[in-house]
Amino acid sequence: MSNTVTQAAEVAAFIARELASAGDAVTLPKLQCLAYHCQGWALAILGTPAFSEALQRGQDGPLAASVKAAYWQQRDQVKVDLALPAPTLPPALQDVVQAVLRHYSGQSGWQLRDGITAQSLWDHSVKTEGRIDPANQKAYYQALPRLELAPAADPVQVAFPVLNYSHQAVDHDEVRETRRRHVEQKEREREDCNARLREAFAPAGSVVVQ
Phi and psi at residue 56, in whole multiples of 5°? -120, 160
- Within a domain: residue 20? yes
What pLDDT, on a 0 to 100 scale, did the predictor assign at position 29? 94
What pLDDT, on a 0 to 100 scale, did the predictor assign at position 60? 84
What pLDDT, on a 0 to 100 scale, did the predictor assign at position 163? 38
Contacts of 114 (CB under 8 A, 6+ apart): 179, 182, 183, 186
- Within a domain: residue 16? yes
Distance, in Å, from the CA atom of 158 to the CA atom of 19, rounded to the nearest integer, reads 7
User: Mean pLDDT by 10-residue block, N- to C-terminus, for the chain (210 residues)?
Assistant: 86 94 90 96 95 92 94 91 91 93 90 91 78 92 86 56 40 60 70 72 57
Distance, in Å, from the CA atom of 108 to the CA atom of 161, rounded to the nearest integer, reads 11
- Within a domain: residue 92? yes
Q: What is the pTM of this model?
A: 0.73
- Within a domain: residue 22? yes
For residue 119, the enclosing domain spans 8-201
What pLDDT, on a 0 to 100 scale, did the predictor assign at position 182? 63
What pLDDT, on a 0 to 100 scale, did the predictor assign at position 157? 62
